[in-house]
Amino acid sequence: MNRNPVGDRAVLLIDGPSGAGKSTLADAVLAAWPGPVAPTLVRLDDIYPGWGGLDAAVDQVGRLVLGARQAGRPAAWQRYDWAGAVPAEWHSVDPDRPLVIEGCGALARAHASLSDVRVWLDADDGIRKRRALARDGGGFEAHWDQWQHDWEAYRAREQPQLSAGVSLTGTPPGLGRSGGA
């Protein structure tokens, strides 16, 4: 019998800087989930209301997903349509399923008490910047500096790595602070 050690309504948060490997880790967690019911996955990339939307997405997830779920109210999040630059449809979150939230901002201080497992994933700055820019086909390049500034402000204010119970690196072995070969 394969049992879920944190419960059928477990909440797992995965945070770290852009390009660290959070989405890949979240996909691996879902594929290996030990319980009979697969978790709902919420990606903050689907919620940020534009390149300056880190704090707004943190607030939305805290109030409308984690807070609502904790209070026994219906939980939901609103997708942001990046192509149209407008808010899009709402997605409900089943309160009886495990929940995985991944993305920059997942480990905001207010979210810690509303979760069961908290993961911090970091990586070498050069590696993660190359990954992020390659992943988005160049669309991120013009916004990298703004995003990085907002990320650094969030990290200084919230200190998300301190609430993590698990800390990992997305830097491949042998590639240190130099960022590559």
Query: What is the model's pLDDT at position 134?
Result: 85
pLDDT band per the 50, 70, 90 thresholds, residue 131: confident
pLDDT band per the 50, 70, 90 thresholds, residue 177: low
Say yes or no to pLDDT of 168 above 80. Answer: yes
Say yes or no to pLDDT of 6 above 90. Answer: no
Query: What is the model's pLDDT at position 176?
Result: 58
pLDDT band per the 50, 70, 90 thresholds, residue 63: very high
- Higher per-residue confidence, 153 vs 144: 153
- Higher per-residue confidence, 6 vs 56: 56
Task: State the Cα–Cα distance between residues 137 and 132, nearest whole angstrom.
Answer: 9
Architecture of domain 11-169: 3-Layer(aba) Sandwich (3.40)
State the burial class of residue 126 (Cβ atoms within 10 Å of its Cβ: 0-12, 13-18, 19+).
Answer: middle
CA proximity to 150, closest of 83, 58, 30, 26: 58
- Higher per-residue confidence, 178 vs 57: 57
